Amino acid sequence: MPRAGRKIADSGYYHVILKGDGGMDLFDADADRQKFLETLDGILEASRLRLIAWCLMSNHVHMLLEDTEQELSACMHRLTTAYAMYFNKRAQRPGSVFQERFFSVPIKTDRQLIACVLYIHDNPLKGMGVHPSCYRWCSYAECADGSAIRCSTDTVLGMLGGRQGFLKASEDLQRRTYFVVSGAHIADDDIASAARMALEGKSPAVVATLPVKLRRDAVCALRGIGLTAGQVARLTGIGARVIVRDSAKGLKRSGQQRGRPKVAPNYPVPHEDIRPCRGAPRPNRSGRRARSSRRRGRSARGPARRQPTVPDARSSGRRGRRPRRTDRSARRPSYRNR
């Protein structure tokens, strides 16, 4: 089936993510990272793209780009192709290097832009336990020092009020409200940021201390953004069964339907007062409809009916028993004794 079209951002800002094929490492040494940055610099000079923030991890890359001329797809194609040819030639391996096409998230507001920059700079701390100020393969030093080597730092520093505002925002946990959803659920690395955004900057640990009604509203808010019951339980310290019960009661009170039903689709409705008519298949305990026995000539209720002995217009010849012929001369000759 055809792929969905890429979403266009009105602001022109995109969070671009490149991943290794099957989770493989994109960079085996610092020389590979330097080659990737050199290729990126050449593409930025030949196009009108602006690089706002970046970070190179072992098996994926984060970049925040500004594209006002719709050149993002063509530039990412040249970047990934050039680096894949270099990597395969150096490692003497065939096949693809990057996983599918690049993933992009359109940035809609200035608040989302700042949160995305902080999210990109937090990757070394979340992935390797290294503070971004000590990690040379990200743009944190360019924003903190104001030395625009390959990034356009004027946009971010202008929104935060200079270098001191950037350093203060980098240490403020209330601004960690950005997360990426690329599948059915949110990744475990981003559940803290997602929960803080859903709770309007509050810590998920305070949910367990809230009254019952407020706790149900908070649980519904956490479940509504895509967190599973296990993820909410780990964040809040509340049992998973309580999470499921509170989310079900909260959705029932608001008149909404459950996003993930906890029962089988064929489970019978508890308050169903409709009784099936006589002879119709009835639902069993497992919720499935009983197979109709009319083909075998029996009703769903009662004993088997007696088969007609002579076929007529209402019953087929296969169901009835063939009548005996009284005229023996009309029988076919038998060749069994010949």
Architecture of domain 13-175 in CATH? 2-Layer Sandwich (3.30)
Per-residue pLDDT of the chain (338 residues; tens, 9 = 90+): 567 778 888 889 999 999 999 889 999 999 999 999 999 999 999 999 999 999 999 999 999 999 999 999 999 999 999 999 999 999 898 889 998 888 899 999 898 899 899 999 988 988 888 888 899 999 999 998 877 788 888 989 999 988 899 998 888 766 666 767 655 667 666 777 778 778 877 888 888 888 888 888 888 888 887 788 888 888 888 888 888 888 887 666 655 554 443 333 332 323 333 333 344 445 455 555 545 444 554 544 555 555 555 555 455 555 555 556 555 555 555 555 55
HEC readout, the chain: CCCCCCCCCCCCEEEEEEEEHHHCCCCCCHHHHHHHHHHHHHHHHHCCCEEEEEEECCCEEEEEEECCCCCHHHHHHHHHHHHHHHHHHHHCCCCCCECCCCEEEECCCHHHHHHHHHHHHCHHHHHHCCCHHHCCCECHHHHHHCCCCCCCCHHHHHHHCCHHHHHHHHHCHHHCCCCCCCCCCCCHHHHHHHHHHHCCCCCHHHHHHCCHHHHHHHHHHHHHCCCCHHHHHHHHCCCHHHHHHHHHHHHHHHCCCCCCCCCCCCCCCCCCCCCCCCCCCCECCCCCECCCCCCCCCCCCCCCCCCCCCCCCCCCCCCCCCCCCCCHHHCCCCCCCC
**Paired tokens of 131:** 């503070």
pTM score, two decimals?
Answer: 0.63
